[in-house]
Structure 1
Amino acid sequence: MNFRILMSFLLLAGVFCCPVASSGAPNVPEATPTTTPPPKRFNFADVRRRAEVLATQPFQETGTNLPDFLAKLNYDQYRDIRFRAEKTLWRDAGLPFEIQFAPLGFLFNRQVAINIVADGDSKPVEYTNDLFDYGHNQVPDNLPKDLGFAGFKVLYPLHTDSHYDEVAVFLGASYFRAVGQGQNYGLSARGLALDTGLPKPEEFPYFREFWLEKPGKDATELTVYALLDSQSVTGAYRFAIKPGVATQMEVKASIFARNKVQKFGVAPLTSMFFHGALNERFFDDFRPQVHDSDGLLLASGNGEWIWRPLNNPARLRISAYQDNNPRGFGLLQRDRSFDNYQDLEARYQIRPSIWVEPLGEWGKGSIQLIEIPSDAERYDNIAAFWVPEKPVETGQQLEFSYRLSFFLDLPTLSPGGRTLASRIGAGGAGDLNPEIRRFVIDFSGETLAKLAENTPVQAIVSASAGQIQNVVVHKNAHSNGWRLSFELLPQGVDRSELRCFLKLGNDVLTETWSYQWTVAK
């Protein structure tokens, strides 16, 4: 079935009345021409109508049957297929944005329709096999001529005017990624997360069609529309992509539910955490840390900032932070020191963080974090998203707007003392006792740096289970911040929710450090 929008233009002819000369007859005023309405221009409302109508119809899977040549490609073989640079969209027009299309193959087996919107009119991009250089792959002679695309990449002169850098890519289900200046691709964002972390298969909505607005010569942002589809929902999305030091995307989403959804994840982020400084498991790796993100940061509706270090747990962990109208959340890569990664190829120290800023009120719900056990860095095992308090019912319509920022550092985030590092090890006095767990947290920030060593800084530490003991706070001259350490005596429990922060009198000095400890097995 062809779901492309059919654009129609209604032209109304002007009707003129000519005066009739008649002796003694009154003068008849000359009629004015009927106003002709301007041609209809393609916009977000068109995509929204498509999604609304689609939701009333049974879900139909788009074609996923690829020729064996493409279906059997491995990762390296797929990467050897390159879009021919000379065929880059808008290259000859001298525009600030350019587009390259992604081929089908490997894991990307679903064809997506891509359209260009120019002067208000939408036209499909025509596919031809000669758009791609297949590298060392042995291409069969009978390769279909109507394969289509898997997605697209956005190019922009991010660092110098003379070179176009890849700044965003939409590829696979509803996944997309972006980078700002000096960044390497890392974690991903998604259109929606449905039933993620439940004891049943996760549902993966996908963008089945895109519309790219042709930018003007002085444009600083690119507008992309997308039609989302799945067994349970349809949706219309608008992305305003603004490349820069911290590339931003303003996202508007209208969602229509075909079926009831048990867990509805808004503005989902997906990342990788293999191992880091908070390990309680052994990883046979020469690199001290391997991760795209090292923590979840939350700005709650009541003004509290919460930092949750990530981990690669021995068992599935799901954490939910109840909130009302959250101010933001994100998966961050705070550790920017190469010494802590020692990976010349992956360059984890310049992987971007993503911050989600709601535009408008989202009401009651929870920010949920899912940590999945993983035995390799190639797996994305971390997910974070917003879940509304009330379940999504069949026929329900939902509207969400938010801003995504892809950055190395945003000084405005967590204006108080930030968590600089989190560590864990055996506790106890004298001989170490592995049954006692010692936690060491370093906080840093301008206010903390100005405090004298003898300032009576107080630590507030709590645990949902077990006993907290040996709480110590002191100045850390090496980081110019403050260090908090404490011990957890489990007392037979196998998990405990931990929280701590620093204060001076009635003033809170730091964000709240939050962690779910579980027995390492």
Structure 2
Amino acid sequence: MVKRTVFLLSLASTLSVSPLSMSNSYATPEIPSVETIKVADSFNFANVHRRAAELATQPFKEDTSAALPDYLVNLGYDQYRDLRFRTDKSLWLKDKLPFIARFFHRGFLYNKQVKINIVDEGIISPLEYSRDLFTFGKTELPSDMPATLGFAGFQLFYPLINDENFNEFASFVGASYFRAVGKNQHWGLSARGLAINTGNNEEFPYFSEFWLEKPNKDATSITVYALLESKSVTGAYRFTLSPSIDTVISVKASIFPREKVAKLGISPLTSMFYHGENTDRFQDDFRPEVHDSDGLLMANGSGEWIWRPLNNPQDLRINSFSDDNPRGFGLMQRDRDFNNYQDLESFYHQRPSAWIEPIGQWGKGVVQLVEIPTDAERNDNIVLFWVPEKPIEKGDEVTFEYRIRFMSDDEQLQSGGRVISTRIGRGGSDSLNEKQRKFVIEFSGNALENLPIDTVLDGVVSSTKGKIINKVVQKNPFTKGYRLFFELEVADQDPVELRAFLKRGNDVLTETWSYQWNPTKK
């Protein structure tokens, strides 16, 4: 399980700092470089591709040339938060470009050195670490830290809110993790470059080197290249980041296995679900809901839209959704009502959703959802990714492209009705009856709101076992949608897969609600 503090602490601290004004003085010199290297042709994805392919023919070798000193390894959480990049040293600040970059210091749990290069018209300039690039607050560190220390990652800024201020919109730090936000969104779920064997002896590849392409003065997007490494694979990546109301990251990647990989997770997302409206066991928390995402949304190759509410199970739960050339999938934060969270610090109602849109034909495979038990919101316990049907072997090359949209409203993705809540409670009239449960599902959306008030809809409900009884569909004037409720009778303790949707005649009006009910592991 991934500790959220590992990937959130620097980002969270940034939110409390006023955005850097674009009208600040530009007299501060830019970050120094060790050397400049002129490449034969303009630097592009092919350069990183060749590097990754060459490394895949060699055994994995951990870089020990830049070992982290003990005084940085032993930093505590609060001490590390004091290590901040100086805003007046921001990359490209003096050039008055629409994008600037700042860098993360190594220390605490960020122990790997990440090499960072700047690409400017075919010239590669590796960045040199300097203690003078950072402030350290109350954390006392030696004045002679080695110049070879390097960085842990970087942040990107763009004037999202207005033209006068820079706002952080993306960050790459820790293993192959990266994240982004759009306008008026707060930091939430993360993406990853790659997932390997998640749920069983997981391996965490990491970005060992980045190349940041200098944007021009009119740029609305920025390109970043990355080299990924691990014991099992190498990889070449190109990220094109376009910040806006919805920030979109276009990803191209080529993966080269050093050995056979049993389960390769492509386009992985990582999030947190502690408890929500569908949690039917007691939570000792003043907040009604605590989660970064509340459901999996999927548009499969046959055109069906599926909604799977997330859960915090008592045992590890892995569910696979078979598909052929998926149209899209992602982790959504649909509930945008502050009253359902009551959190004045975390702003869960403003956490972004992330939608993966494959580019090209991905073929057969599964969308896999991993739900890990957690007893606190500090842990990322939800993982989602695509697994190709065929395992990759040594000597193969897997290339894929996709877009990630960090968004606030997923209703724009589809025109049909969608699930806005799932609630579960005791069924029947016997308060001790554990074999009968009631499910209440709210559907809403333009497809339902515009129906005549006397329209009669049918709820189609199916289960892998047990018996569905007392099914009712009602118009809900408060949501302007429809409510479906039914009861499930079960005779044993095995999990039950449930599906439901609304239709009028032969016309399906909503996405398909999909849920796993475990009578003993609620």
**TM-score of the alignment, normalized to the shorter chain, above 0.5:** yes
Question: Which structure 1 residue ranges, 5 or more long, are not aligned?
Answer: 10-38
| Cα distance in 1 between the residues matched to 2:225 and 2:499 | 42
What secondary structure is seen at the aligned counterpart in 1 of 2:48?
Answer: helix
Higher relative contact order, structure no. (Cα contacts within 8 Å, ≥ 6 residues apart)? 2
Residue in structure 1 matched with residue 3 of structure 2 by the alignment: none
Deviation readout 1:442-463 (Å, 9 max, x if unpaired): 0001121122343221111011
| Cα distance in 2 between the residues matched to 1:137 and 1:284 | 35
Residue in structure 1 matched with residue 20 of structure 2 by the alignment: none
| Cα distance in 2 between the residues matched to 1:340 and 1:353 | 17
Post-superposition shift, 1:422?
Answer: 0.5
Residue in structure 1 matched with residue 284 of structure 2 by the alignment: 284
Question: Which structure 2 residue ranges, 5 or more long, are not aligned?
Answer: 1-33
| Aligned 1:167-246 pairs, distance under 5 A | 167-198=169-200, 201-246=201-246
Residue in structure 1 matched with residue 320 of structure 2 by the alignment: 320
Confirm or deny: 8 A CA contact 2:35 2:125 kept in the other structure. Answer: no
Residue in structure 2 matched with residue 53 of structure 1 by the alignment: 54
Residue in structure 2 matched with residue 134 of structure 1 by the alignment: 136
Post-superposition shift, 1:6?
Answer: 9.4
Q: Provide runs of 4+ in structure 1 moved above 4 Å.
A: 4-9
Residue in structure 2 matched with residue 310 of structure 1 by the alignment: 310
| Aligned 1:137-156 pairs, distance under 5 A | 137-156=139-158
Confirm or deny: 8 A CA contact 2:419 2:442 kept in the other structure. Answer: yes
Residue in structure 2 matched with residue 439 of structure 1 by the alignment: 439
Post-superposition shift, 1:430?
Answer: 6.5
What secondary structure is seen at the aligned counterpart in 2 of 1:140?
Answer: coil
Residue in structure 1 matched with residue 63 of structure 2 by the alignment: 62
The AA in structure 1 aligned to 2:159 is P
Confirm or deny: 8 A CA contact 1:427 1:487 kept in the other structure. Answer: yes
| Cα distance in 2 between the residues matched to 1:166 and 1:186 | 13
Confirm or deny: 8 A CA contact 2:222 2:242 kept in the other structure. Answer: yes
RMSD: 1.5
Amino-acid identity (%):
59
Normalised by the size of structure 2, how large is the TM-score?
0.91
Residue in structure 2 matched with residue 354 of structure 1 by the alignment: 354
Normalised by the size of structure 1, how large is the TM-score?
0.91
Residue in structure 1 matched with residue 407 of structure 2 by the alignment: 407
The AA in structure 2 aligned to 1:315 is D
| Cα distance in 2 between the residues matched to 1:426 and 1:159 | 47
| Aligned 1:7-86 pairs, distance under 5 A | 40-63=41-64, 65-86=67-88
Confirm or deny: 8 A CA contact 1:281 1:520 kept in the other structure. Answer: no
Confirm or deny: 8 A CA contact 2:440 2:484 kept in the other structure. Answer: yes
Residue 342 of structure 2 is aligned to residue 342 of structure 1: yes
Confirm or deny: 8 A CA contact 2:332 2:410 kept in the other structure. Answer: no
Post-superposition shift, 1:7?
Answer: 5.1
| Cα distance in 1 between the residues matched to 2:505 and 2:493 | 33
Confirm or deny: 8 A CA contact 2:435 2:519 kept in the other structure. Answer: no
Deviation readout 1:409-452 (Å, 9 max, x if unpaired): 14332320010100001100365733311110000011211223
| Cα distance in 2 between the residues matched to 1:147 and 1:227 | 19
What secondary structure is seen at the aligned counterpart in 2 of 1:86?
Answer: helix
Confirm or deny: 8 A CA contact 1:465 1:493 kept in the other structure. Answer: no
Post-superposition shift, 1:380?
Answer: 0.2
| Cα distance in 1 between the residues matched to 2:333 and 2:251 | 22
* Counterparts in 2 of 1:136 and 1:7: CA distance versus 1, 3 Å: closer
Confirm or deny: 8 A CA contact 2:36 2:123 kept in the other structure. Answer: no
Post-superposition shift, 1:141?
Answer: 4.0
What secondary structure is seen at the aligned counterpart in 2 of 1:375?
Answer: coil
Post-superposition shift, 1:65?
Answer: 3.7
**Largest Rg, 1 or 2:** 1
Post-superposition shift, 1:364?
Answer: 0.3
Post-superposition shift, 1:8?
Answer: 5.7
The AA in structure 2 aligned to 1:421 is S
| Cα distance in 2 between the residues matched to 1:295 and 1:411 | 14
Residue in structure 2 matched with residue 372 of structure 1 by the alignment: 372
Residue in structure 2 matched with residue 495 of structure 1 by the alignment: 495
What secondary structure is seen at the aligned counterpart in 2 of 1:92?
Answer: coil
| Cα distance in 2 between the residues matched to 1:342 and 1:183 | 17
Residue in structure 1 matched with residue 94 of structure 2 by the alignment: 92
Confirm or deny: 8 A CA contact 1:453 1:474 kept in the other structure. Answer: no
Deviation readout 1:325-361 (Å, 9 max, x if unpaired): 0000000000000000000000000000000000101
| Cα distance in 1 between the residues matched to 2:137 and 2:354 | 34
Post-superposition shift, 1:61?
Answer: 1.4
